[in-house]
Structure 1
Amino acid sequence: MSYRIAEVAELVGVPATTLRYYEDIGLVEQPARGGNGYRSYEDADLARLRFITATKNLGIPLTDVAELVKAYDVEDCSSVAHQVVEMVAVRLAETQTRIGELVALAAQLQGVSARLADAPTSGPCGEGCPCATAAPAPLADRRTFVPLTRAPLVAAPDVPVLACSLDAGSVPGRISDWRALVARAVRREPITGGMALQFVASPELIAEAVRLAAAEQDCCTFFTFTVQMTTGQVRLEVRAPEDAADIVAAMFGTAG
Structure 2
Amino acid sequence: MTYRIAEAANVVGVPRTTLRYYEDIGLMPAPGRRPNGYRVYDESDLARLRFITAAKNLGIPLADVKALAAAYDVEDCTSVAHQVVEMVAVRLAETQTRIGELVALAAQLQDVSGRLAAAPTAGACGADCPCTTVTIEPTSPRRTFVPLTLTPLTADNEAIACTLRPDAVPDQVSDWQELVARAVDRRTIDGGVSLVFPAEGDLAAQIARLAAAEQDCCTFFTFTVRLTPGQIRLDVQAPADAAEIVAAMFGAPV
Q: Do they fold alike, i.e. is TM over 0.5?
A: yes
Distance 2:179 2:155 in 1: 38
In structure 1, the partner of 2:38 is 38
In structure 2, the partner of 1:210 is 208
Shift of 1:142: 5.4
In structure 1, the partner of 2:245 is 247
In structure 2, the partner of 1:166 is 163
In structure 2, the partner of 1:139 is 139
Shift of 1:232: 7.0
Shift of 1:46: 0.6
Distance 1:38 1:114 in 2: 64
Q: Is the 8 A contact 2:247 2:253 kept in 1?
A: no
Distance 2:187 2:131 in 1: 24
Shift of 1:172: 4.5
Distance 1:23 1:165 in 2: 42
Return closer, same or farther for 1:38/1:118 CA change in 2, 3 Å cut-off: farther
Q: Is the 8 A contact 1:101 1:143 kept in 2?
A: no
In structure 2, the partner of 1:4 is 4
- Asked if residue 150 in structure 1 is aligned to residue 148 in structure 2, the reply is no
Shift of 1:210: 2.5
Question: Runs of 5+ in structure 2 lacking a partner?
Answer: none
- Written as runs of structure 1 = structure 2, the 5 A alignment for 1:101-120 is 101-119=101-119
What amino acid maps onto 1:215 in structure 2? A
In structure 2, the partner of 1:179 is 174
Give % identity: 57
Distance 1:234 1:40 in 2: 67
- Written as runs of structure 1 = structure 2, the 5 A alignment for 1:61-140 is 61-119=61-119, 123=124, 127-140=127-140
Distance 1:53 1:149 in 2: 25
Per the alignment, in what secondary structure is the counterpart of residue 238 of structure 1? strand
What amino acid maps onto 1:252 in structure 2? F
Superimposed CA distance per residue, residues 112-151 of structure 1 (whole angstroms, 9 cap, x where no aligned partner): 2333344566636x64443442113333365532341538
Q: Is the 8 A contact 1:162 1:220 kept in 2?
A: no
Per the alignment, in what secondary structure is the counterpart of residue 183 of structure 1? helix
Question: Runs of 5+ in structure 1 lacking a partner?
Answer: none
Return closer, same or farther for 1:199/1:80 CA change in 2, 3 Å cut-off: farther
In structure 2, the partner of 1:23 is 23
Distance 1:249 1:225 in 2: 15
What amino acid maps onto 1:212 in structure 2? L
Distance 2:106 2:115 in 1: 14
Return closer, same or farther for 1:18/1:206 CA change in 2, 3 Å cut-off: farther
What amino acid maps onto 2:4 in structure 1? R
Per the alignment, in what secondary structure is the counterpart of residue 139 of structure 1? coil
Q: Is the 8 A contact 2:160 2:242 kept in 1?
A: no
In structure 2, the partner of 1:58 is 58
Shift of 1:54: 0.5
Return closer, same or farther for 1:147/1:77 CA change in 2, 3 Å cut-off: same
Return closer, same or farther for 1:154/1:226 CA change in 2, 3 Å cut-off: closer
Shift of 1:66: 0.5
Structure 1, 9-18 or 44-53: larger mean CA deviation: 9-18
After superposition, the CA RMSD in angstroms is 3.0
**TM-score (norm. length: structure 1):** 0.82
Distance 2:112 2:90 in 1: 33
**TM-score (norm. length: structure 2):** 0.82
Structure 1, 215-224 or 81-90: larger mean CA deviation: 215-224
